[in-house]
Amino acid sequence: MADFPENLRYSAEHEWVDDASPATIGVTSVAADALGDVVYLELPEVGATIEAGAVVGEIESTKSVSELYSPVSGTVVEVNQSAVDDPAVVNSDPFGAGWLFKVDVTSRGALLTAEEYAAQAG
């Protein structure tokens, strides 16, 4: 079973979010492995207001494309431009350098602990 960082919360759609302010959001190793090599990222724009559970972007791999959901509501304050430039980092370090965007959070969706996520996704 994969190891999921304890300090993060997880969505059923395989996003993770930390509890910092602003909150950092990415996709889990489960998503990265299922996608295959990520080759293109479409992230929300800085300043955009987003809602938990809504589609905010796309992750495209060599084989497929999937939608990116936000696990939280709020305002996007930063996107990871180095991941946009070199999306392979989403595969190599999904919980670290492969983060996707940061949000000033107004509310969080229904999120899972690492243990709950592991039980569901592992």
Partner 1 sequence: MAEDQQETQDKTTPLHDEHVALGASLTGFGGWLMPLRYTSDLAEHRAVREAAGLFDLSHMGEIHLEGAGSGAALDQALVGNASAIGVGRARYSMICADDGSVLDDLIVYRLADEHFLVVANAGNAPRVAAELVARAAGFDTLVTDRSAETALVAVQGPEAEEIVASLTADDDVDTVRGMKYYASAPATVAGIGVLVARTGYTGEDGFELFVPADRAAELWRALLAAGEGRGLVPAGLSARDSLRLEAGMPLYGHELDQTTTPYEAGLGRVVKLDKADADGAPLPFVGRDALAARAQSAPARVLVGLRGEGRRPARAGYDVVQRGLDGAVGAVVGRVTSGAPSPTLGYPVAMAYVTPEVSAEGTELAVDVRGRAEPFVVVPLPFYKRS
Asked if 122 interacts with partner 1 (CB under 8 A), we say: no
Asked if 58 interacts with partner 1 (CB under 8 A), we say: yes
- For partner 1, which is the closer residue by CB, 86 or 116? 86
Asked if 61 interacts with partner 1 (CB under 8 A), we say: yes
CB 36 within 8 A of CB 64: yes
Q: Name which of residues 11 to 30 contact partner 1 (CB under 8 A).
A: none
Cβ count near 96 (within 10 Å): 10
CB 38 within 8 A of CB 90: yes
Asked if 73 interacts with partner 1 (CB under 8 A), we say: no
How far is the C-alpha of 122 from the C-alpha of 111, rounded, in Å? Answer: 16
Residues 6+ away with beta carbon under 8 Å from 75:
47, 48, 49, 50, 103, 104, 106
Using CB under 8 A, count the residues that bind partner 1: 14
Among 40, 45, 115, 120, binds partner 1 (CB under 8 A): 40
Q: Which residues bind partner 1 (CB under 8 A)?
A: 33, 36-37, 39-40, 42, 58, 60-63, 65, 88, 91
